[in-house]
Structure 1
Amino acid sequence: MLTITHTHEAGTIIEGTAKGDGTAAILKANRWRWGRSISAWYVPNSRDRLPQHHVITRTAAALEAAGFELETLQLDMTTRSTAEVEAAKAERQAARVDALDAKAERKTSRANELWQKHERDVASLPEGGEPIKIGHHSERRHRNAIDKAHNSARRGIDALHEAEEAARRAEAAAHTTSARYNPVTVANRIEKIAADIRRWERQIDADVYDAETGYRPATEEQKAKRAAHYAPRLDEMRDQLAYWQQVRDDQIASGQATGYSPETVKKGDAVKIRGTWYKVARANAKTVSVETPYSWTDRSPWAEVQDHRAATSGS
């Protein structure tokens, strides 16, 4: 008996599968993955999101067609606030950093042990680089000692590489949350969410295609039906937009981010972008165009403007 469940916090999971029961091939074909930490199959990127109904219904149909009995689809449409989602992400990331730090420490300790073993193996070789005495009773012992030192060196080097990789992953993970809240990244995320909201809102009022008459305006009833259908996703995105807009407002207030715009920057002014000063050619609504040594101008989002100097009179 299989059960597919979805919650905003845990994502989409299927319960009741067993190794070798034939479900793995079906789930893999429908883009599910096995979660070793949760000992269950799950839909990737389904955590902190509304359920992907097309994936769930397609999977359920494939399982039933293969003879599996599906008990229920328990899909919880309740969503957590963006603030709760972000706090949970930060907590999971902190736990991941701790785990990777511990792994790097274990790998480094193991590498040190193996390298010390190699140094002992080298110390057991004849002093002064004495050559192998072919045919002498010591030949086999000498060759074995060389092989032993060579193998322990290889194991030590491999362990050192593993330790370095574990340390690199731990270092990268430690910066994940801060990178997510980078002022430019936050500003870009706000633009994307706002664009997605406008796109979904346009879908509500979009024309309807009729095979005989072509496109025609949607009726009020059709618009109301669409609005009800898109409401959960739009509510979720609007909450995200409000959260990230507040984050950006706080960053601007604290001086962590700049808030330059066409209201504060004019043609002829100078702006600093990625560490270099440029003369402003145009102050657009979403971007600033700057002069270059060539025949064209470059554009950058306002969030990338690090500093500003107003043009002096006569310049």
Structure 2
Amino acid sequence: MTDTTQQGAATAAPFSPNGTALYNPDDDTLRWSNAEHLTATEYAQAKELGFKLWRGSSAWVATWTPEREDFLLQHVEQIDFEPLTDDPEARQQRFVSRAQAADARADQRREAASRGLPPMGEPVKLDHHSARRHLRAIERSDQNMRVAVEEHKKAEYWRGRAAGAERRARQKSDPNVVRRRIERLEAELRKQERRLELLAGQPDSPRTQISVTHARRWADHLELRLAFERARLELLAPAPFATVQAYKKGDTVKSAKWGKCEVVGVGPKNLKLKILEGGARGMTLSSPAYEVQPWED
């Protein structure tokens, strides 16, 4: 009798990594540069997990989750940290230039499509010596219009990339944006910590152990993100701001968004402001303390 277990062990193929993977803490993304084409199954799994193929860099990209990390570790030896050398402002200018170049090519093709055509409305005279020239002119016009449409799509694509680079530049350089992101990450971390507390009171089982591992991985990742964002905020060296407790009802303040306002309420994290000037005068809105300064006459 053949020992199928030994046969299977003997014929099992060794792990062969397919490319490399990086984690970018700057935008919390996983990036997989595969060296070989994916199988139909691998392609479907990547799409189902939310990976998108960035054709410009030939990389599969997705925001970090435990499931996506596990998927990549089935295909690469390890996931390294990506060096933070990106300059989003330079990328924005580069993408804007590409959009402008595509627009220019589209205009040239549209102009070429109208040249050499017979007067509008003139039919093709099939039995006339001009028929072949007429048909070639129509064919050239059609080709030029198709290329013009493709160039227009490229211009829209690069304008979208430029807008994304602009948002990323603001995420990196605006202290208020970084503070709001830190607040959101802290809230997500508290959620995972509450989940771990609830799981600690449940009977031990394989399912509970899996849930604990999943929540712990999320908590560890969020702590990593918070350390990164707090270091980023410290490097920005923003101007100091008063805490929410420094204000009281009736204070006049200057809001970064709405100008002159009156404090009408003080909460644990935000101020309730009444706008005193401009088109939104009289409206009452909520604002974090770091977007407010004491009013100076």
1:290 aligns with 2:281: no
1:52 aligns with 2:44: no
After TM superposition, give the deviation of residue 254 of structure 1 in Å: 4.6
* Deviation readout 1:30-83 (Å, 9 max, x if unpaired): 52647457778x57324xx7x5389549x97xxxxxxxxxxx98456xx75xxx
Q: Closer, same or farther in 2 for the Cα pair 1:168/1:25, shift >3 Å?
A: closer
Counterpart in the other structure of 1:274 = 257
Q: How many residues align?
A: 263
Distance in 2 (CA, whole Å) between partners of 1:134 and 1:12 is 59
SS at match of 1:121: coil
1:248 aligns with 2:233: yes
For the 8 Å contact 2:244–2:266, the answer to whether it is kept is yes
After TM superposition, give the deviation of residue 177 of structure 1 in Å: 2.5
Distance in 2 (CA, whole Å) between partners of 1:98 and 1:294 is 38
Distance in 2 (CA, whole Å) between partners of 1:133 and 1:23 is 52
SS at match of 2:62: coil
Distance in 2 (CA, whole Å) between partners of 1:244 and 1:111 is 42
What TM-score, normalized to structure 2? 0.60
Counterpart in the other structure of 2:176 = 184
Unaligned runs of 5+ in 1: 61-71, 212-221
For the 8 Å contact 1:270–1:279, the answer to whether it is kept is yes
For the 8 Å contact 1:4–1:12, the answer to whether it is kept is no
Distance in 2 (CA, whole Å) between partners of 1:16 and 1:101 is 30
Q: Closer, same or farther in 2 for the Cα pair 1:201/1:104, shift >3 Å?
A: same
Q: Closer, same or farther in 2 for the Cα pair 1:119/1:187, shift >3 Å?
A: same
After TM superposition, give the deviation of residue 189 of structure 1 in Å: 0.7
Query: Which residue of 189, 192, 201 corresponds with 2:193?
Result: 201
SS at match of 2:102: helix
Distance in 2 (CA, whole Å) between partners of 1:209 and 1:9 is 34
* Deviation readout 1:207-230 (Å, 9 max, x if unpaired): 51349xxxxxxxxxx9xxx79x93
Q: For residues 28-107 of structure 1, what are the structure 2 equivalents within 5 Å? A: 31=49, 33=51, 35=53, 44-46=62-64, 51-52=66-67, 56=71, 74=77, 80=81, 87-88=84-85, 90=86, 97=92, 100=95, 103-104=98-99, 106-107=101-102
For the 8 Å contact 1:279–1:290, the answer to whether it is kept is yes
After TM superposition, give the deviation of residue 279 of structure 1 in Å: 1.5
Unaligned runs of 5+ in 2: 1-12, 25-29
For the 8 Å contact 1:262–1:283, the answer to whether it is kept is yes
After TM superposition, give the deviation of residue 290 of structure 1 in Å: 1.9
Distance in 2 (CA, whole Å) between partners of 1:145 and 1:28 is 46
SS at match of 2:169: helix
Counterpart in the other structure of 1:117 = 112
Distance in 2 (CA, whole Å) between partners of 1:160 and 1:53 is 34
Q: Closer, same or farther in 2 for the Cα pair 1:94/1:196, shift >3 Å?
A: same
* Deviation readout 1:134-162 (Å, 9 max, x if unpaired): 89947746854874586367347525633
Cα RMSD between the aligned structures?
A: 5.0
* Deviation readout 1:174-205 (Å, 9 max, x if unpaired): 41332213333211111122223333334454
SS at match of 2:243: coil
For the 8 Å contact 1:132–1:142, the answer to whether it is kept is no
SS at match of 1:176: helix
Distance in 1 (CA, whole Å) between partners of 2:182 and 2:170 is 15
For the 8 Å contact 2:171–2:178, the answer to whether it is kept is yes
Q: For residues 137-156 of structure 1, what are the structure 2 equivalents within 5 Å? A: 137=128, 140=131, 144=135, 147=138, 151=142, 154-155=145-146
After TM superposition, give the deviation of residue 233 of structure 1 in Å: 5.4
SS at match of 1:289: strand
Identity of aligned residues (%): 18
After TM superposition, give the deviation of residue 168 of structure 1 in Å: 1.7
After TM superposition, give the deviation of residue 250 of structure 1 in Å: 5.1
SS at match of 1:52: helix
Distance in 1 (CA, whole Å) between partners of 2:181 and 2:124 is 71
Q: Closer, same or farther in 2 for the Cα pair 1:183/1:121, shift >3 Å?
A: farther
Query: Which residue of 262, 268, 286 corresponds with 2:244?
Result: 262
